[in-house]
Amino acid sequence: MAGTSRVDERALGAGTSVRFVLLVTLLVASSTLMVLYIGLAVFAYDGFSCGLAAGVDPERDPAVNVMAKRIVQWEAYRSCSDRYSAPPPGWWLVGYWALLVACVAVLFWVLPRWKARRGRVVPLTTVDRDGEMGRAVAELSTTAGLARPPRVVVDPTAMVTDGAVVFGRTGRATMRLDGGLLVTRTTDPPRFRAVLLHELAHIANRDVTITYLTVAMWRVYVAVALPPFLAWCAWRFHTTSGSTLWSAEAPIVTRSLLITCLLAVLVYLARNDVLHSREVYADLAAVRWGADPRGWSTPVVDPVDGRARRAVRAFAQLWHPHPRWDVRRAALADPAVLFGVRALPLALTGVAAAVMHTHIAYAITQYYLVTTWMQHAVALLAAALVAGVVGTALWRAVVYAVLTGQPAPSSVRAGLWLGLGLAAGGAAAGQGTVNEWLPARPWTLVLVVVAATAFTWWLSQCARLWVAAWRGRSLRGVALLNVSTAALALSLWFLWWQSMGVGFAAGWSFDVAGLRDYQLTYFVGRELDHPPASALDHAYVLTMVMGSVMANPPLAVLAIVGLWVTPLLAWLPRAGTEAPRWMRRAVGDSDPVPPWQPLPGLRRVLVPALVGGAAGGLAAVALSAWLHADARTGPSATAAMVTFLAGNILVLLVAAAVAAVAARLAVPAYRLPAALIAGGTATLFAFAAVVVLRASDGCVPALTLGEGPCDWNLAVTQRLLTLTLLPALPLAVLVAGVVALPRSRATPRPGRPRSMALARTCALALVATGLAVAGVHAVQRAPYAARLPEAREAQRFGQQSGYKVVDAPVSARSLAMQVDAWRDLGGDELMDRFYHGRRDLFAAVTTAVRAGRTLDQMDDVRPLCVEISDFARAAVRYFRVPDAEAQKLWEKFVVLAWQGSQNCQKALDADQADQFNTAMRTLATAQDTSHAIDDRIDALLDQGGL
Amino acid sequence: MVAVRDVAVRDVVRDVVAEVAPQELPLVDGLAGYDHETVVRRLSRAGARREPLGFGWGEIIGLVTPVLWLVLDQVAQRFADAAVDRTTSGVRGVLGRLRRGRRPPATIPELTEDERAELRRDVLDLFLRRGLDAETAAPLADAVLRRLAPGFAADRGASNPAE
């Protein structure tokens, strides 16, 4: 800071509101989850039985088995859950939220009245005989820009200290003065003024409402939401701790308790952290209004020697609502503390976001609200709060570094702390653990840390770029643009992690050939041959799994394209020779403006993009030529399709990589934004080359892949976009980012203002193209994103994508519980249904025969046969029997019932008496098989001691 | 029942503060609305509250009023206890206080010359123990003694010893 002027702490927003919103959202999400647990206990028949009926072994099944057994029987599981473990009705939740809001409102209203009650404080007039104090408060309120002075009361018994406090709400605040302050007015007037102006600054800075709202919310959470939940935990411990289910329940119940304790600590620390910064803001405002810094001169703190002691003191400070005095005094001279990127808030934000995201995702799953829009909205909420908190901190740090000429703080360190918070919060909230204590693959949590680091890197690099480019009065608008872009991209990561990453962490292994065939059937619309999985298939399937998040969310392309469009926009403002206006405001008109460097020319970014696009075009031509030659050797249709798709994705990635390498060399000072812009743009250029090649297929014999004539067939664009560009987009960004990782050794060449009309036109055209692709995708996917996925669809994905069940021996006790649940939750009812249907059928036939009616006169029999067919359809949709032998009998039973009922209908239609008799005998055999199933299950129950 | 010549702690505090630290008089005025027990309870609970949006936990400021009030309360309690011990109905008096849940009235009786000399030593000792420095404590003890001198009430008019 030496040699530079004091930086105005208001150069950018403080980000306090978004941090409070994060706390509030966390409290609401946590309260809702707690009431859901209780609601399920009250309303549900039995939360675990559907899992047992699906064959889940509560003793030994790892999380991946629990997931697999549910997903491959999703229709049955969903139907069972609807019937036996439905969440509480929606009005329950609404009523609960209304209760919480009402309690918060009442407490918020009562708190200031309680603190300012008679017997606790006295009005200022009681101790201010000459009215001097009242006049001083009024005068200082005017200085602080308040429309009216606050109500002032005095606590005359607080004689040990000479502080003050404000409470109530911002529009109607009450200021309580310590008795000691009345004496300080005469003994130490600068201190008196400092205290009063500091408190008035809290009112002017709008801290009062938001602080006491948080206080009220926290107390309502502790007093209203927590006790029933703790009772639920105790009840679960009491009822299931001795049962077989306990090994599966213990992690869930314990984790719920743990997360509640963690939440208490988290909210308290996060609140204190925000309050620390609000205190410094109030101090700075007070000094700006004329308070004497000597007012902050007490007390003198003994310096602490030694790293351990300093750490202990720092830890103790976390629990205090005020920052240390030496920190406050230092901030009056240099507000660096308000521009720092500190580890604790980052980690806390990560934990809070992960817990909140997991909780809300659980709630919407319980209510089957899992449309793509809803899932993305939840992810976006978590991401927006993270980006708001972290983005503001990083932007402030970059701005401060630029204004003071210091190096910007490490975004990698920031990312690591954020990522650790996200990983820890996710694991604690149950991501990838289901019924286990830890994820089966804990190393996958490293991906979370890497993603968080990429997020902070992008934010700080783009902040540097924009801070150098922007010339307007305020940076708030461009900071918001950048933070919004980062939030959207992070939401895509959250969405992917929640839908795929968590499964990986839990141990899910995908079947490459199965997933490949599923993908191709989905895209091509028909079944191809099924060759064994090759190395290329592995690469292709991995790419598709990574890019799977691009397929459904309408905003997915916008999220990815935004990562290079936003930095590209930084080149649009006209360059100038004078210092930017925001910089002038931040350092004050009279102070020297720090050295300032304009951006390098856009040509240095665009030329690499063209180079990359050209490389991609050449690669596309080479691929076509090779595929043309290879087609004559006759690979399988599936292999050819995979080669074509994977090859074209590779073409796009080659373009991105070449462009990124060239860009990081050309623009070393901003290597990440430059690599992203060049890589993203080159991907689009290369995609255009691929489209041209395929649209003109047949025109160049050596490049021809199809059998049609030479034509200009632009209809291929849509399929190529879905099959190649969409999965390639996130990978292209990833490749460009990896290329930009190492520091460039090239010396940055100074930028110079020049006529940039052509470059700006090109930039605008690229931005428009990127946004157009994003827009087309959004419009196309929007209708599907509002649709609830069919249970059958999810089941089909589960079956084809290779959810594998890990072999785990089942104890007799568990098996007995499983078959018991299977029979109890539907098996028994189905067998009864068959029994009654068959009995009615046989009775009707017997009556008809005794009455001497022939087959053509038995119209009343037909509906009874149809009913048995309906039973067979329902039985197919029900769970498999958890016991292998009983399952064989069940399959035989259902097949016999189906055959008997079908033959019955055919015989009646064709008037075939023999066929009808055979059908009746088949149904009789089915009945016997049903009894055998009962016998088998009874035997298993005996063996299991049930 | 309070003797006619007893003087209330509250009055002694007010008069001594007016003489030694007049800038603290508004505080004594502020305490007028509280009964003696409340004042003692809350003054005894020394220390700053950890509240959000406060100015912060500053250094302890050395005011005379709280120390004076608490010390005189201790003195009053001693006299009250001695009086209880002397009376034959002491047990009954203690039981009666317990039943009512109240302490005896905080008053200091009229003192003999010897008692006053002893009181000065005690008060000075209590002031020092409560953290006052000797330069502040000695004049304060003298002011207390002056206030408790037989002629003070006549000089200033009769005070109301009852609380």
Name the residue in chain B with its Cα closest to that of A326. Answer: B58
> What contacts 24+ positions apart, CB below 8 Å, involve B24-28?
B24/A183, B24/B63, B24/B64, B24/B65, B26/A127, B26/A128, B26/A129, B26/A182, B27/A127, B27/A156, B27/A159, B27/A179, B27/A182, B27/A183, B27/B63, B27/B65, B28/B65
Alpha-carbon gap: B114 to the closest alpha carbon of chain A (Å): 34
CA distance A73 to A61: 16
Name the residue in chain A with its Cα closest to that of B64. Answer: A159
Residue B65: which of A129, A159, A321 has the nearest Cβ?
Answer: A159
On whether any CB of chain B is under 8 Å from the CB of A83, the answer is no
Alpha-carbon gap: B63 to the closest alpha carbon of chain A (Å): 7
User: Cβ contact (<8 Å) for A187 and B23?
Assistant: yes
Query: Which pLDDT value is given to residue B60?
Result: 65
User: Cβ contact (<8 Å) for A279 and B56?
Assistant: yes
User: Cβ contact (<8 Å) for A195 and B65?
Assistant: no
pLDDT at position A432 over 80: no
Number of helices (H), then strands (E), in chain A:
37, 4
On whether any CB of chain A is under 8 Å from the CB of B33, the answer is yes
Query: Which pLDDT value is given to residue B103?
Result: 59
CA distance A161 to A575: 55
Mean pLDDT of A396-408: 88
Q: A382-395 pLDDT, tens per residue?
A: 999 999 999 999 99
On whether any CB of chain A is under 8 Å from the CB of B131, the answer is no
Mutation target to probe the B interface, by most B beta carbons within 10 A, among A117, A132, A159 is A159
On whether any CB of chain B is under 8 Å from the CB of A364, the answer is no
**Are the C-beta atoms of A267 and A5 separated by less than 8 Å?**
no
Query: Which pLDDT value is given to residue B91?
Result: 54
Q: Which residues of A touch B46 (CB under 8 A)?
A: 160
Query: Which pLDDT value is given to residue A143?
Result: 93
Query: Which pLDDT value is given to residue A96?
Result: 92
Residue B58: which of A128, A157, A298 has the nearest Cβ?
Answer: A298
Which range has the worst mean pLDDT, A228-242, A337-351, A610-624, B38-52?
Answer: B38-52
Identify the residue with better confidence: A46 or A339: A339
Alpha-carbon gap: B70 to the closest alpha carbon of chain A (Å): 12
Query: Would you call the peptide bond into A701 cis, given omega within 30 degrees of 0 as the criterion?
Result: no
Which range has the worst mean pLDDT, A374-388, A448-462, A564-578?
Answer: A564-578
pLDDT-derived band of residue A539, with 50, 70 and 90 as boundaries?
very high
Alpha-carbon gap: B7 to the closest alpha carbon of chain A (Å): 22
User: Cβ contact (<8 Å) for A157 and B31?
Assistant: yes
User: Cβ contact (<8 Å) for B52 and A160?
Assistant: no
Identify the residue with better confidence: B60 or A68: A68
CA distance A442 to A419: 14
> Rounded to two decimals, what is the model's pTM?
0.86
On whether any CB of chain B is under 8 Å from the CB of A320, the answer is yes
- The values of phi and psi at residue A825, to 5°, are -90, 10
How much of chain A, in percent, has pLDDT values that exceed 90? 49
User: Cβ contact (<8 Å) for A321 and B54?
Assistant: yes
Number of C-beta neighbours around residue B86 at 10 A: 8
On whether any CB of chain A is under 8 Å from the CB of B65, the answer is yes
Q: A673-729 pLDDT, tens per residue?
A: 999 999 999 999 999 999 999 999 888 888 888 777 888 888 888 889 988 999 999
Query: Which pLDDT value is given to residue A894?
Result: 96
Q: How many CB pairs under 8 A join A and B?
A: 113
Give this complex's ipTM.
0.82
User: Cβ contact (<8 Å) for A198 and B34?
Assistant: no
Q: A793-840 pLDDT, tens per residue?
A: 888 877 777 666 777 788 898 999 999 999 999 999 999 999 999 999
Q: A116-166 pLDDT, tens per residue?
A: 887 789 999 888 888 888 999 999 999 999 998 999 999 988 888 888 999
Alpha-carbon gap: A71 to the closest alpha carbon of chain B (Å): 50
Alpha-carbon gap: B121 to the closest alpha carbon of chain A (Å): 25
Residue B27: which of A156, A165, A202 has the nearest Cβ?
Answer: A156
pLDDT-derived band of residue A339, with 50, 70 and 90 as boundaries?
confident
pLDDT winner (highest mean) among A76-85, A432-441, A561-570, A747-756 = A561-570
Find residues 132-171 of chain A whose CB sits inside 8 Å of chain B: 154, 156-167
User: Cβ contact (<8 Å) for A215 and B33?
Assistant: no
Mean pLDDT of A581-605: 79
Q: A175-217 pLDDT, tens per residue?
A: 999 988 888 888 888 989 999 999 999 999 999 999 999 999 9
On whether any CB of chain B is under 8 Å from the CB of A63, the answer is no
User: Cβ contact (<8 Å) for A163 and B33?
Assistant: no
3-state secondary structure A452-496: HHHHHHHHHHHHHHHHHHCCCCCCHHHHHHHHHHHHHHHHHHHHH
Alpha-carbon gap: A575 to the closest alpha carbon of chain B (Å): 44
Q: B63-97 pLDDT, tens per residue?
A: 889 889 999 998 888 877 776 666 545 555 555 55
pLDDT-derived band of residue B112, with 50, 70 and 90 as boundaries?
confident
pLDDT at position A26 over 80: yes
pLDDT at position B2 over 70: no
pLDDT at position A402 over 70: yes
User: Cβ contact (<8 Å) for B27 and A182?
Assistant: yes
Mean pLDDT of A493-521: 87
Query: Which pLDDT value is given to residue B16?
Result: 92
Mean pLDDT of A327-336: 86
Mean pLDDT of B117-142: 87
Q: What is the DSSP string of A381-442?
A: HHHHHHIIIIIHHHHHHHHHHHHHTPPPPPHHHHHHHHHHHHHHHHHHHTTTTTTSSS-S-G
Mutation target to probe the A interface, by most A beta carbons within 10 A, among B53, B57, B59 is B53
Residue A180: which of B29, B50, B61 has the nearest Cβ?
Answer: B61
pLDDT at position A221 over 80: yes
User: Cβ contact (<8 Å) for A165 and B48?
Assistant: no
Residue B55: which of A122, A199, A212 has the nearest Cβ?
Answer: A199
User: Cβ contact (<8 Å) for A180 and B46?
Assistant: no
Q: A456-496 pLDDT, tens per residue?
A: 999 999 999 999 899 888 999 999 999 999 999 999 999 99
Interhelix angle A535-547/A637-666, nearest 10 degrees? 60
Query: Which pLDDT value is given to residue A719?
Result: 87
User: Cβ contact (<8 Å) for A129 and B24?
Assistant: no
Element (H, E) at A604: helix A603-631
**Are the C-beta atoms of A861 and A846 separated by less than 8 Å?**
no
Name the residue in chain B with its Cα closest to that of A158. Answer: B43
For A22-50, give one letter per residue: b (16+ CB within 10 A) or e.
Answer: bbbbbbbbbbbbbbbbbbbbeebebbbbb
User: Cβ contact (<8 Å) for A298 and B47?
Assistant: no
Q: For residue A119, give every residue at least 6 positions away whose Cβ sits within 8 Å of its Cβ, in sequence order, or none.
A: B33, B34, B38
Q: Which residues of A touch B51 (CB under 8 A)?
A: 165, 167, 321
Alpha-carbon gap: B59 to the closest alpha carbon of chain A (Å): 5
pLDDT winner (highest mean) among A61-70, A374-383, A634-643 = A374-383
Number of C-beta neighbours around residue A146 at 10 A: 17
Mutation target to probe the B interface, by most B beta carbons within 10 A, among A120, A126, A161 is A161
Which range has the worst mean pLDDT, A16-20, A97-101, A591-595, A771-775?
Answer: A591-595
**Are the C-beta atoms of A780 and A718 separated by less than 8 Å?**
no
Alpha-carbon gap: B91 to the closest alpha carbon of chain A (Å): 33
Q: Which residues of B touch A298 (CB under 8 A)?
A: 58-59
pLDDT at position B162 over 50: no
Query: Which pLDDT value is given to residue A905?
Result: 94
